[in-house]
Amino acid sequence: MRNLAATNNLCKEVDGRRRISWASVITRRRISWSLAAALCAGLLCACGSGGTNTVSVANTQTPPPPATSTPTSSSTSSTSSSTSSTSSPPATTSASSATGSTRTASGPAFAQTTSTSSSGPESVVMAHGYTAVSPSQYNPQDTLQVLVGTAPSGGQKAFFFVNGSYIGTDTALPSSSISVVSTNDTEVTLGYALFHPDGSSAGTAQVTYALNNGMLGPLGPIPSALPSAAVSRR
């Protein structure tokens, strides 16, 4: 009986130990499963949080399209320029009359005297207070014409014309005596009587006046008009 009881007790003890060992095994497995589940959850969180990287793009501005200039119509500019411009009246020049004053210098007066008078040559001479010595001296066929006139005081001047238009006299101051030596289409040669200071004759000086490109001028020196000069034309 004692052996049977001992055997029962031993069996109970062995059975209890087996239960304890199985309980510990189950507990350990549960802990392992919990750890595994926690590890998997951690891995899943890590993958969910770090797997996807979001990149925030800074404010980028799209460059504006290049400006396009609209061509200005040429017709508009030409119209405005034409309307803004005002035509200025043409300048007018007054021509010297036949009665205009001659130069005061001793040189040829025609250098500064012009006239478009349509009056006859004798009328022009008379308008200056002179009388034509010989109207036949005037040759209308020549381009350059001359007519010598005498003043009431006795002095003389040579009046020049170009195609009938009066242009001036030989000198500003009159001479004692002037003669027409020769003429051609564009040249006139005059002879000036010369005198010494005492009034005695000093011969004659010839001076040729030539028309060149519309300008008339002497080709040689004109004798002095001063009575005190060694030789003068007065």
Secondary structure string (H, E, C) spanning 9-54: HHHHHHHHHHHHHHHHHHHHHHHHHHHHHHHHHHHHHHHHHHCCCC
Q: Quick one: what percent of the chain has pLDDT higher than 70? A: 50
Q: Which of the four pLDDT bands, split at 50, 70 and 90, describes residue 59?
A: very low
Reply yes or no on whether the pLDDT at 145 is more than 90.
yes
pLDDT digits (tens, 9 = 90+) for 40-57: 665 555 544 444 444 444
Residue 130, token pair as written in the block? 């002179």
Q: Mean pLDDT across the stretch 190-196?
A: 97
Domain boundaries, the chain: 109-218
Segment 184-191 shows an average pLDDT of 97
Which pLDDT tens digit goes with each residue over 86-138? 444 443 333 333 333 333 333 445 444 444 455 789 999 999 999 999 999 99
